[in-house]
Amino acid sequence: MRRLLTAIVLAGILPIAPRAGPRVGPHAGHRVGHRFSGAGAGVGAAAEQLRVQHIDGGAADPFAAPAGVTAIVFLFTSTDCPISNRYAPEVRRLAAAFAPRGVVFRLIYPNPAERAPAIREHMTAFAYAGATQALRDPEHALVKFVGATVTPEAAVYAGGHIVYRGRIDDRYVDLGLERPAPTRRDLAQALTAVIAGKPVLQPTTQAVGCFIADFVR
């Protein structure tokens, strides 16, 4: 609950930008895999007010999406995290594979020190430009809302709430311990379930990477 309250406070001090498009779902919840009831109240209100930033500044609603979008993937990343960067080809592949099925990928840069020029350079170097959208989360509003702890970490927002949060796959077991190839592709499985209208069987997993707590707040 503390996490949620922080999100409300932080969202409250941000300027509210005009809504960019219709919402993916009616309400957002902070508890993974759990649908909240009660329109416009409590948790739902927190999500409605939650704001991140466009790369060039100005508040952005991370949940805003055009019609036909069935899920949004928030992919927390940073420009110089080696594990995050090594996943770039896989993230692009997933984005391309799920785009026709109404899934939008949004890179979230939670390090306040990473600003527009560095982010643009990063997106060009790792060929994200055109494949994914990008937002900054310097106040960690979205970080706290979904409970992300490292980069890379994914959160899937669908049907008005977060239905998955964790690793992209199980390639990294720990820092310094990785599998030659993944044996479970958790993010892809979650998206496949969401598209099929089924529950995500394992809604949280432990991601391995660079700690968001280390980014200067």
> Which parts of this chain interact with other proteins (CB under 8 A)?
80, 82, 84-90, 113, 125-127, 173-181, 183, 210-211, 213-216
Q: Which is nearer to other proteins, 14 or 178 (CB)?
A: 178
Q: Which is nearer to other proteins, 109 or 126 (CB)?
A: 126
Q: Which is nearer to other proteins, 122 or 161 (CB)?
A: 122
Q: Which is nearer to other proteins, 5 or 211 (CB)?
A: 211
Question: Which tokens sit at 6?
Answer: 């922080």
Helix/strand number for the chain, H first, E second = 7, 11
Q: Least distance from C-beta 194 to other proteins, angstroms?
A: 26
- Nearest CA to 133 out of 153, 107, 98 is that of 107
**Phi and psi of 165, rounded to 5°?**
-145, 125
Q: Which is nearer to other proteins, 53 or 84 (CB)?
A: 84
- Residue 63's CB is within 10 A of a number of other CB atoms, namely 25
Q: Least distance from C-beta 60 to other proteins, angstroms?
A: 25
Distance, in Å, from the CA atom of 2 to the CA atom of 155, rounded to the nearest integer, reads: 19
Question: Which tokens sit at 191?
Answer: 């998206």
Q: Least distance from C-beta 164 to other proteins, angstroms?
A: 22
**Residue whose tokens read 């919840």:** 29
Q: Least distance from C-beta 210 to other proteins, angstroms?
A: 6
**Phi and psi of 150, rounded to 5°?**
-135, 170
Question: Which tokens sit at 110?
Answer: 């939670």
Q: Which is nearer to other proteins, 1 or 216 (CB)?
A: 216
Q: Least distance from C-beta 56 to other proteins, angstroms?
A: 23
Q: Least distance from C-beta 54 to other proteins, angstroms?
A: 24
Three-state DSSP class for residue 116:
helix
The H-or-E segment that residue 136 falls in is strand 133-136
Maximum alpha-carbon separation in the chain: 47
